[in-house]
Amino acid sequence: MSDDNVIEQHIEIKETGLSSIDVLSDATTLSKNIIKQTMAKGAVWLSRGKQTQRLRRANRKLHSGDTLHLYYNPDILALVPPEAHLIADEGEYSVWFKPCGLLSQGSKWSDHCTIARWVSQHLQPERPAFIVHRLDRAATGLILVAHTKKATTLLTELFQQRKIKKTYEAIVHGRFPASPEVLTIKTPIDEKPAISHSRLVKYSTERNCSLISIDIETGRKHQIRKHLSGSGFPILGDRLYSDEEHFNTDLQLSAVSLSFTCPIYHKPRQYNLVNQLRPQL
């Protein structure tokens, strides 16, 4: 797709009462049907006063002084989100299996391929969806989604206070050491402390690969991938931190367990990913 098809436009509104779809239709060559689809996928924003938010309502009436922002990229908007699976619905929050390719966070160009958008469109009864932690786009596994501001605040605080235990599994190249029983890696990431604990679950002589379990004390960006690669055990399918010449598999890293004391219902919660959704050695 040529860059000529990409539109980034910022339209200052001079008159109160105009509808957003009419303004965008007059300002671009896009049809009203395409504009509606673009809005639904989160590529149109409205600035009013000090707030800027995604705008999805095609007939939203605008005020003088508003600014409409259009970020139209047909390649991005044509992407189809992979299907997430509900693990548990706890009312004020839910737990989902995030597949490879589904994003934790959107961009100005869209949010239709994010876990939050998937949840808000598929969970019944319908509720708003707020992300309280993230998984890499290429990673799979359990992710918490909040549905109220209260749950968002409380669950975010649990993550910040490291009161949620997250366990991951990964398949790495080579024979991972069985001794010591737990290999602790403390290499800083971006000059910030980062601690990962890994242990061998199973080794495959035929594939010369190891299935390992990882617990992390910190949550730096790409922490597990960087720590394992830096220790000589890159994760299979890691296109950023592996020297593989040919990639015939997705990233073999998955968040397989979440455990914490629920700050809303004050009960212990434990969520485990079923074996068929975990990395298979």
Which CATH number covers residue 97? 3.30.2350.10
Q: Are residues 150 and 195 in the same domain?
A: no
- The pLDDT value given to residue 131: 96
pTM for the complete prediction?
0.91
Q: What distance in Å separates the CA atoms of residue 121 and residue 135, rounded to the nearest whole number?
A: 20
pLDDT of residue 247: 78
Are 113 and 184 in the same domain?
no
What is the domain count for the chain? Answer: 3
Range of 202's domain?
Answer: 165-256
My answer on whether 137 and 179 are in the same domain is: no
Residue 77 CA to residue 142 CA, distance in Å, equals: 26
Question: Order of strands, edge to edge, in the sheet holding 7-12?
Answer: 7-12, 67-72, 44-48, 51-54
Predicted local confidence at residue 3, as pLDDT: 64
Residue 274 lies in a domain: no
Structure confidence by residue, pLDDT tens digits, 173-196 = 999 999 889 999 999 999 999 999
CB 140 within 8 A of CB 96: no
* Number of residues that this document lists for the chain: 281
Q: Does the residue 238 lie in any domain?
A: yes
In terms of domains, do 17 and 73 share one? yes
Closest-CA residue to 217 (of 195, 198, 190): 195
Cα-Cα-Cα-Cα torsion 273, 274, 280, 281, nearest 10 degrees, comes to 90
Q: Is 250 among the residues known to form the active site?
A: no
Query: Tokens 């919660």 map to which residue?
Result: 269
pLDDT of residue 4: 65
* Per-residue model confidence (pLDDT) at position 270: 97
CA distance 229 to 163: 27
Q: Which of 66, 89, 111, 136 is catalytic?
A: 136
3-state secondary structure of 121: helix
7 and 58 together in one domain: yes
Does 122 share its domain with 176? no
Mean pLDDT by 10 residues, the chain (281 residues): 79 96 96 97 97 96 97 97 98 97 96 98 96 96 98 96 95 94 95 95 96 94 96 95 83 97 96 96 90
